[in-house]
Amino acid sequence: MRIDQYLSAVLPQFSRGFWKKVLTTGSVHVDGRRVSQCSRSVRTGQRVEVFLDGLPLEKHLIDARQVLFEDENLLVLNKPAGLDTQPTPSRFQGTLYQGILDYLGRGKGAGRRPEIGMVQRLDRDTSGVIAFSIHPRAHRSLSEQFRHHKIRKTYLALVSGKLENEQGEFKSNLAKIRAINRVRSVARGGKPALTRYRLVLAAGGVSLVEVELVTGRMHQIRAHFSEAGHPLCGDIRYDGVGRLHGLDIPGQLLHSWKLSLAHPVTGQALDLKAPLPRDWLPLLEACGFPAAMLRNLVASD
């Protein structure tokens, strides 16, 4: 029997198309050896192992505290760090997308199936405001606002060192370099990227920066600050430190702070904000940031 047929038979909740994608990521082993071809045969007695990113496939449950705005067209959430936005070939459960499906289906009977539009993405370790269309009539308008840079996206980032200028911008063409699994500026090709920033405060060898993401390229903020010599704290992939003032940093310290947009159906101006995660506080306090400023950043409006 083919390996994709076998996996579909023993785990029928996933399609053969899903298993094809999982196989191409190298997440399936037969007798201890990685298998990437769907046509590979397996027989009785062989040991088949599937590695879905090493984490338990637990559902992410959305509660009311995460919801920043909701109506029949639009859902805006405060995403926690450490959570994938969308399913990957090796992971569906435990993603924000799956959580939204469950959340919208709770107590709603057999009505219209929610149609979630992915118009914005945040990296796994990036927290904060993220918007989804949940009705087809809203998706086109929201997509066009993002495509034409009509939505204002403001982030908070903690970067290494003290910025030379209190405000400025990074402008380059960015491309993914597969050989090093990073995004970086290139002289030819790539996609135009523009990042504006303003220094909030520098203390303890780091800078808290307010960042406006004018374009929305993959890893744009991470790549631009790394190339400027100020990588995000915790961003090991882009040369950031993993430990500061005796404290471990679990992932890049980047937070989607504010999102300003027009409602995709009514046109109403919406200004949405997600408070800074409280797990940033011990590190910011250790760096010497004023307590009053930190209280304002983590307080909900």
Catalytically active residues, by annotation: 123
Q: Which helix (H) or strand (E) holds 158?
A: strand 152-160
* Amino acid in the structure at residue 133: S
- Residues 285/290/293/294 CA torsion (nearest 10 deg): 10
- For residues 8 and 30, give the distance between their C-alpha atoms in angstroms, rounded to a whole number: 15
To which residue do tokens 């094809």 refer?
Answer: 20
- For residues 259 and 224, give the distance between their C-alpha atoms in angstroms, rounded to a whole number: 21
Q: Which helix (H) or strand (E) holds 186?
A: strand 182-186
- For residues 76 and 268, give the distance between their C-alpha atoms in angstroms, rounded to a whole number: 14
* Amino acid in the structure at residue 131: A
Residue 298, helix vs strand vs coil = helix
Residue 171, helix vs strand vs coil = strand
Helices (H), 118-172: 136-147
